A and B are shown apart, each in its own frame.
Chain A
Amino acid sequence: MTGLAVDDAAWASAWRTRSPLDKLALSAGLVVCALVLPVWPGGVLVALAAVALALGPARVPARTFGRAVRWPLAFVAVGAVTAVVSVDGGGLGWAPDAATRAGELVGHSVAGGAAVLLLATTTPMSDLLPALTRLRVPAAVVEVASVTYRLLFVLLESLRTIREAQTARMGHAGWRRSLRSSGALAAAVLTRSWDRARRLQEGLAGRGMETGLRVLPEARPSSPAFLAATGAGLAALVAVGVVGA
């Protein structure tokens, strides 16, 4: 357990051993379809395909998938309502085709969100980041991002522990105290992150680090069958999405 449900799901997923680039191709294809195809029937099919793949072959817990979409749904709901409300001469009203437009916005967002979540719940960041070097992202940037990913959980753990201790000492009773405690919390986490980085650096220097962090890459060969199925599935989605619209 790392505390981030989506990350836990990614490590436990049945698709964990698949090539990250294969999964990236599938999700990216679905994301583009969700964005470009009309919501009916294309977007709906994308959403169904992403959810079915995640809950079916990738065996992501439905609870995790469901909980993860709550946040984006809140934004989508507020954003879509704001977009279709019309300000007319000081009065508020619905724009002419409000229901259709809101439906389209929600449809695109839900389909796209499900497609991204399919990647997120099947591929840990530590698999995805090295794959980025193959997409010509500089190695130094990928390394910084990898260190960020690994330190993140340490810092989140510190954050949780310190906040618990503060709460136990009434540190979050009332607005003033709570703000003061949050400031101290941020400072503690920042100095701890510096301390961690310095100690890691000293440890690595002692082991002779000169050019970047070398880790043994796990070989995850690309599967021709998976790629062929992805291509065929996406082509079918596009065909149905274009003809059915």
Chain B
Amino acid sequence: MHIAEGFLPAPHAIGWTVAAAPFVVHGARAVVREVRERPESTLLLGAAGAFTFVLSAIKLPSVTGSSSHPTGTGAGAVLFRPPVMALLGTVVLLFQALLLAHGGLTTLGANAFAFAVVGPWAGYGAYRLARSLGAGLLPGVFVALALADLATYVTTSLQLALAFPDAAGGFAGAAAKFLGVFALTQVPLAVAEGLLGVLLFRVLTVNARPELERLGLLRPAPLATTEEVR
């Protein structure tokens, strides 16, 4: 869930926009450089953006029987790196705001900070850490997607708590409330998104191995020796 239009008071809306701006501008620079060097990347990056949007439209079966949607930014962060996701995530948020009335324009900065900055970086950090500890691609993908999903909602909850501190408990009280409503309920969904990622990448390692090798996620398979071929 993204913060709806008009929900955040003006100073918070402006503050989060300022906070998210450097990351989005950095991502935009990376995209501009990439497109200048390789004009064909425009189409691949566009496809990545469209995939992120569409991934968030896949219904995730959840344990309680109701269904929810994956955030999709964790997969993007692993595949395309967080700086690019900062821009693509913001574009996706803009589309969600204007095509699905999901999120908003004044809250775009706050939502971008949670969804396109914190989520991808948390997921990518977890992925790198898992890989450096010797985990394989699939466990790495699981922690990346689950953490990116969870980190997004924890950030949203904290943003709301900052904007609406509790009358008695202050920020801490409000954080407990919002985390309980928006983040705790998200834990099963984060696990489900992690599992979805494992299934997604398992299919990709079979069907799209060259692409994964090109993106640096898998080491190129060693060529078979003459002995093995015989």
- The chain A residues found within 8 Å of chain B, CB to CB, are 4, 6-7, 28, 31-32, 34-36, 68-69, 71-72, 75-76, 78-79, 82-83, 85-89, 95-96, 105, 108-113, 115-117, 119-120, 125, 128, 137-138, 140-141, 143-152, 154-156, 159, 172, 175, 178-180, 182-191, 193-194, 196-198, 200-201, 204-205, 209-213
Q: Besides A75-B7, A116-B105, A172-B61, 18 other CB < 8 A contacts?
A: A4-B99, A28-B105, A72-B104, A82-B181, A82-B182, A86-B168, A108-B6, A144-B42, A151-B49, A159-B58, A182-B196, A183-B198, A185-B58, A190-B204, A201-B43, A205-B40, A209-B39, A213-B42
Out of A71, A196, A200, A204, name the residue touching B102 (CB < 8 Å).
A71
Chain B: CB-nearest residue to A67: B101
Contacts of B45 in A (CB 8 A): 144, 147
Question: Is B192 located at the chain interface by the 8 A CB criterion?
Answer: yes
Contact present for B7 and A87 (CB under 8 Å): no
In the complex, how many angstroms separate the beta carbon of B191 from the nearest chain A beta carbon? 10
B28 & A141 in contact (Cβ 8 Å cutoff): yes
* Most-contacted residue by chain B among A117, A145, A191, A196 (CB, 10 A): A145
Check A197 against B43 for contact (C-beta < 8 Å): yes
User: With A113-B104, A148-B53 in contact, is A212–B200 under 8 Å at CB?
Assistant: no
Tell me the complex Cα distance, A86–B97, Å.
Answer: 30
State whether A35 touches B10 (Cβ < 8 A). Answer: yes
CA–CA, A86 and B173, complex, Å: 8
On chain A, the residues within 8 Å of B40 by CB distance are: 201, 205
**A7 to B97, alpha carbons, bound, how many Å?**
12
Q: Say whether B195 faces chain A, with CB atoms less than 8 Å apart.
A: yes
| Other-chain residue from A95, A117, A145, A150 in contact with B101 (beta carbon distance below 8 A) | A117
Q: Give the residues in chain B near A108, CB-CB below 8 Å.
A: 6-7
Contact: B39 with A211, CB < 8 Å? yes
Specify which chain A residues have a CB less than 8 angstroms from the CB of B196 in the assembled complex.
Answer: 179, 182-183, 186
- Which chain B residue lies CB-closest to A73? B4
CB neighbours of B48 from chain A (8 A):
193
* Contact A109–B43 (Cβ < 8 Å): no
Residues on the A chain within 8 Å of B6, using CB: 31, 34-35, 108-113
B133 vs chain A, min Cβ distance (A): 24
Chain B residues lying within 8 Å of A148, measured Cβ to Cβ, are: 46-47, 49-50, 53, 88, 91-92, 95
| Candidates B53, B58, B99, B208; contact of A194 at CB < 8 Å | B208
- A112 near B44: Cβ-Cβ < 8 Å: no
Chain B residues, CB < 8 A from A87: 166, 168-169, 173, 176-177
A213 / chain B contacts, CB cutoff of 8 Å: 42
Residues in A whose Cβ lies below 8 Å from that of B101: 6, 68-69, 71-72, 113, 116-117, 120
Q: Which of A28, A156, A184 contacts B203 (CB 8 A)?
A: A184
Could you tell me the distance in whole angstroms from the C-beta of B205 to the nearest C-beta in chain A?
A: 10
* A182–B61 touching, CB < 8 Å: yes
A interface footprint on B178-218 (CB within 8 Å = 1, 0 otherwise): 10011000000000100111111011100110010000000
CB distance from B217 to the nearest CB of A (A): 13
- The complex places the Cα of A175 from the Cα of B198 at a distance, in Å, of 16
Smallest beta-carbon distance A23→chain B, Å: 12
Q: Does B229 contact A (CB under 8 A)?
A: no
